[in-house]
Chains A and B, each alone.
Chain A
């Protein structure tokens, strides 16, 4: 009887030690489900749900620019943010809905003469975790 009990205990210990840690398993599972930015570009416009002329420098003459983002592995309906900054000043924040399993979305801003200079758009998830930052300039 004592031998049986000892063997069961040893078996349990070996099973626990040799088994993959639970947290590791959870992380891998989360990574598989994690929202993935497939594409994020600044562009002159959007046509047929595709970015037109992606670039990092835009002329003020264009009057309007867009930030195009495409996501994959969207586990459920969620929200992302496009935060537009001129230098380090927040100009506008736009909240966008994205749906599983793959979704594209974009935001645009109207340009004024005073908007010349370096800009960035921070793309964040619903919990404000940064997903990608796009940097560009508005020039003459």
Chain B
């Protein structure tokens, strides 16, 4: 018990709800599907999954891949092969039964009525095929039955198998005290050692008991002979007492008073297994060895004043150091982690916005260890337009003897959009560097404008390039600029 204490320390109420809720869901699925072939296949898949996890832990690469493939294929096969069984389980339940209550299988099968009906059919030489399912589901084996859900009675059975009635062909399925389906088609056995006097009904009965644990009663149309098929045995019934005994033996496993007790024990064990299983899965996810991970997450800004715009932020993403179990950490996707900064209180200009735990959204079970940086400097401003003159930015050296005496910009002004605080101090937009080397006569050159800081933008539709028209003259002989006399 001691080693388990660290596992459960720091258990939150959400964790307990998490475990109980999922245990309940698992248990309800078991209750709904128990007795069917689907639940057996799901258990087989669960075993495969355990083997796959073991293979992964032992480093058996190919085995684990193979297991993963088999599991995926098996899940698909279960859905395809047992679709009828799944559909019948889901269709025959009301909404309440999904969440509460247990389908009782211990409804007393009225053996007397069946015995009476069978002997009435035999005496009248009316061919009949009656199926009494036990624990295994027969939905995946039986096809095309007509749902009836009628109360079992001698008259009803006689009516069904009466000559010429639409439902007399095929099997009648009796579950508890109800006739659940009529005119059902059973799989035919391919055995070659069956007696020659066995007709299609007998062969269908053998086919069903080969695949399920159901008991099948066949009344021969020619001979009025009653035959019971159960597992591998074929019992020719000589009188109604014998039939009564066989039917009670078949139903006895569940209909006895001990059956209810056994079911309670079975369901209790199932509930405990579900609880233990989910707790184990939860512990493996949430309480594994602590793993650290650093994630760079983009910052989302929200609730800023509509007129304001974000013109600069000291960082557009933050580094989060997260911790949690290895499994959870590995499953963290970047889109699950969000950093949302509230700018409701931000003002125009520079704002220091702290990155608190409340502003970080993490998936369940993941803890935050560290944030870097712990605050961002966010510059908000009101976007404005400003028309600014353009000035050429000459560089290099003009040839000796030349003077660049005039320059004209086309256009001489551009309309710039930017934050009011930024634009307040900007009086000129400069061009890119224009080299002076190579200039000997006047001319025109085209150059791009440099928007500095980069937060500035030209108004939509404004050309980013301007023409520089310049005029060059020769330096007058004998006039030196250095001869300053004043």
Q: Which residues of A contact B (CB under 8 A)?
A: 43-49, 52-57, 59, 62-64, 66, 85, 87-88, 106, 108, 117-118, 120, 133, 135, 137, 139-140
- A55-B396 CB under 8 A given contacts A44-B481, A46-B486, A118-B428: no
Sample 6 A-B pairs with CB under 8 A, ordered by A number. A45-B481, A47-B485, A52-B479, A55-B404, A88-B426, A140-B396
Inter-chain contacts of A62 with B (CB < 8 A): 481-482
Inter-chain contacts of B485 with A (CB < 8 A): 46-48
Chain B, Cβ-Cβ closest to A88 = B427
Q: Which of A43, A46, A53, A64 contacts B475 (CB 8 A)?
A: A53
Inter-chain contacts of B486 with A (CB < 8 A): 46-47, 49, 106
Asked whether, in the complex, the Cβ of B428 is within 8 Å of the Cβ of A139, the reply is no
Asked whether, in the complex, the Cβ of A59 is within 8 Å of the Cβ of B398, the reply is yes
Chain B, Cβ-Cβ closest to A117 = B393
Asked whether, in the complex, the Cβ of A55 is within 8 Å of the Cβ of B395, the reply is no
A31–B426 Cα distance when bound, in Å, is 31
Chain B, Cβ-Cβ closest to A42 = B405
Asked whether, in the complex, the Cβ of B391 is within 8 Å of the Cβ of A135, the reply is yes
Q: Which of B406, B426, B427, B481 contacts A52 (CB 8 A)?
A: B481
A66–B426 Cα distance when bound, in Å, is 25
CB neighbors of A among B390-441 (8 A): 391-398, 403-407, 425-428, 430, 436
A120–B397 Cα distance when bound, in Å, is 19
Inter-chain contacts of A55 with B (CB < 8 A): 403-405
Closest CB of chain A to B374's CB: distance in Å? 34
Closest CB of chain A to B472's CB: distance in Å? 10
B contact residues, range:
20 to 34
Asked whether, in the complex, the Cβ of B425 is within 8 Å of the Cβ of A139, the reply is no
- A118-B393 CB under 8 A given contacts A53-B475, A56-B406: yes
Chain B, Cβ-Cβ closest to A53 = B481
Inter-chain contacts of A117 with B (CB < 8 A): 393
A83–B425 Cα distance when bound, in Å, is 15
Q: B483 in the interface, Cβ–Cβ < 8 Å?
A: yes
CB neighbors of A among B176-226 (8 A): none
Asked whether, in the complex, the Cβ of B404 is within 8 Å of the Cβ of A56, the reply is yes
Asked whether, in the complex, the Cβ of B396 is within 8 Å of the Cβ of A53, the reply is no
Closest CB of chain B to A24's CB: distance in Å? 29
**What DSSP secondary structure best describes chain A's contact surface?**
strand
Asked whether, in the complex, the Cβ of A45 is within 8 Å of the Cβ of B484, the reply is yes
A44–B482 Cα distance when bound, in Å, is 7
A2–B404 Cα distance when bound, in Å, is 78
A88–B485 Cα distance when bound, in Å, is 31
Closest CB of chain A to B217's CB: distance in Å? 104
Chain A, Cβ-Cβ closest to B482 = A45
CB neighbors of A among B433-479 (8 A): 436, 470, 475-476, 479
Q: Which of A46, A57, A59 contacts B484 (CB 8 A)?
A: A46
Chain A, Cβ-Cβ closest to B486 = A46
Inter-chain contacts of A63 with B (CB < 8 A): 482
Chain A, Cβ-Cβ closest to B452 = A87
Asked whether, in the complex, the Cβ of B404 is within 8 Å of the Cβ of A118, the reply is no
Closest CB of chain A to B8's CB: distance in Å? 66
Closest CB of chain B to A96's CB: distance in Å? 13
Asked whether, in the complex, the Cβ of B482 is within 8 Å of the Cβ of A137, the reply is no
Asked whether, in the complex, the Cβ of A139 is within 8 Å of the Cβ of B476, the reply is no
Asked whether, in the complex, the Cβ of A139 is within 8 Å of the Cβ of B396, the reply is yes
Inter-chain contacts of A48 with B (CB < 8 A): 485
Chain B, Cβ-Cβ closest to A47 = B485
Inter-chain contacts of B398 with A (CB < 8 A): 57, 59, 139
A55–B428 Cα distance when bound, in Å, is 20
Closest CB of chain A to B206's CB: distance in Å? 101
- A88-B425 CB under 8 A given contacts A53-B479, A57-B398, A64-B484: yes
A108–B481 Cα distance when bound, in Å, is 13
Inter-chain contacts of B484 with A (CB < 8 A): 45-47, 52, 64, 66, 108
Asked whether, in the complex, the Cβ of A47 is within 8 Å of the Cβ of B397, the reply is no
- A137-B394 CB under 8 A given contacts A55-B404, A56-B405, A118-B430: yes
Closest CB of chain B to A140's CB: distance in Å? 4
Chain B, Cβ-Cβ closest to A140 = B397
Asked whether, in the complex, the Cβ of A54 is within 8 Å of the Cβ of B405, the reply is yes
Q: Specify which of A52, A106, A118, A139 lies most central, judged by the most chain B CB atoms within 10 Å of its CB.
A: A139
Asked whether, in the complex, the Cβ of A57 is within 8 Å of the Cβ of B393, the reply is no
Asked whether, in the complex, the Cβ of A137 is within 8 Å of the Cβ of B392, the reply is yes
A85–B391 Cα distance when bound, in Å, is 13
A54–B430 Cα distance when bound, in Å, is 22
Q: Knowing that A45-B483, A57-B436, A62-B481 are A-B contacts, what are 10 other residue pairs whose CB atoms are under 8 Å apart, sorted by A's residue number? A: A44-B481, A46-B484, A46-B485, A47-B484, A55-B405, A57-B404, A64-B484, A85-B427, A108-B484, A118-B392
Asked whether, in the complex, the Cβ of B393 is within 8 Å of the Cβ of A137, the reply is yes
Inter-chain contacts of B396 with A (CB < 8 A): 139-140
Inter-chain contacts of A59 with B (CB < 8 A): 397-398
Asked whether, in the complex, the Cβ of A120 is within 8 Å of the Cβ of B428, the reply is yes
Chain B, Cβ-Cβ closest to A116 = B395
A135–B388 Cα distance when bound, in Å, is 13
A45–B486 Cα distance when bound, in Å, is 9
A88–B389 Cα distance when bound, in Å, is 12
Chain A, Cβ-Cβ closest to B408 = A56
Asked whether, in the complex, the Cβ of A139 is within 8 Å of the Cβ of B427, the reply is no
Inter-chain contacts of A44 with B (CB < 8 A): 481-482
A85–B392 Cα distance when bound, in Å, is 15
A59–B437 Cα distance when bound, in Å, is 13
Q: Specify which of A49, A52, A55, A62 lies most central, judged by the most chain B CB atoms within 10 Å of its CB.
A: A55
A140–B27 Cα distance when bound, in Å, is 86
Inter-chain contacts of A66 with B (CB < 8 A): 484
A93–B156 Cα distance when bound, in Å, is 116
Chain B, Cβ-Cβ closest to A135 = B391
Closest CB of chain B to A7's CB: distance in Å? 56
Inter-chain contacts of B407 with A (CB < 8 A): 56
